[in-house]
A = this chain, B = another copy of it.
Amino acid sequence: MSKLASADSGVPTLAVSTVIFTLRPNQAGAMQLAIALVRRIKKPYLGLWALPGGPLSMNEDLATAASRNLLETTGLHPRYLEQLYAFGNLDRSPNDLAEDRVVSIVYWALVGSEEAAEAVEGENVQWFWADQLDPLAFDHSLIVEYALWRLRNKLEYSRLAHGFLGERFTLAQLREVYEAVLGRALDPGNFRRMVQGNGAVVATSERLEGTRHRPPKLYRYDSSIDLTDQGPLNTGERK
């Protein structure tokens, strides 16, 4: 509990943060979901890991700000970007700092796994496995948990997986993305039918060579409709 109305104590500050997802191969060589975090270099929560973010400047859209701080932290452009939620509880910050109250509008983004391999990583910016995170600064653990939930839910009825892949891909690669995000194995046959059934994906004439078995067809997404259903708000911005 702090001051009374805004008259004397100012107004809440507005910030934009981003949960950045990618897929990276783990030790076993399997794809696994990872997120990018930055280390706090000041109080509160000095030294802890947190979501990248910053203030919203006067002349940029919310999504632009999210995209910008993605670029600034990882050097990457998002393949998919969507607003997650606005977090503004009074107790987000430790009590003694309640005077600078921050409302964070959080976005979540997907970046391709090839690009992610070249992303800047350093002392204060690193990738972490999404399913084994230590507690983060502020309410960021909750935010990540919610972002994961949304990603998994949304994957099932849209074409999000494209965000992790290149232009052309085999159905096995696509299935690997699904399996990594959902965390369980899928039947290859049924997966094939599922994904072909809704017209999301079209076969190209090319095949992927160099495997030590029958060469699989390469597919691409049907660019006509981008069914990332957000209803009237269809702006699942791709780079």
Write the residues of chain A forming the contact surface with B, with a CB cutoff of 8 angstroms.
1-6, 9-15, 53-62, 83, 85-86, 88-90, 100-101, 103, 105, 142, 145-146, 149-150, 153, 231-233
Report how many copies the assembly holds.
2
Contact check, B105 vs A12: say whether CB atoms are below 8 A apart: no
B142–A232 CB distance below 8 A: yes
Known: A2-B59, A88-B62, A90-B60. A231 touches B146 (CB 8 A): yes
Q: A9-B58, A61-B90 are in contact. List 4 more A-B contacts (CB 8 A).
A: A5-B55, A83-B86, A103-B105, A150-B231
Check B233 against A103 for contact (C-beta < 8 Å): no
Partner of A6, one of B53, B55, B61, B153: B55
Q: Which residues of B contact A88 (CB under 8 A)?
A: 56, 61-62, 105
Complex: how many Å from CA A195 to CA B3?
A: 47
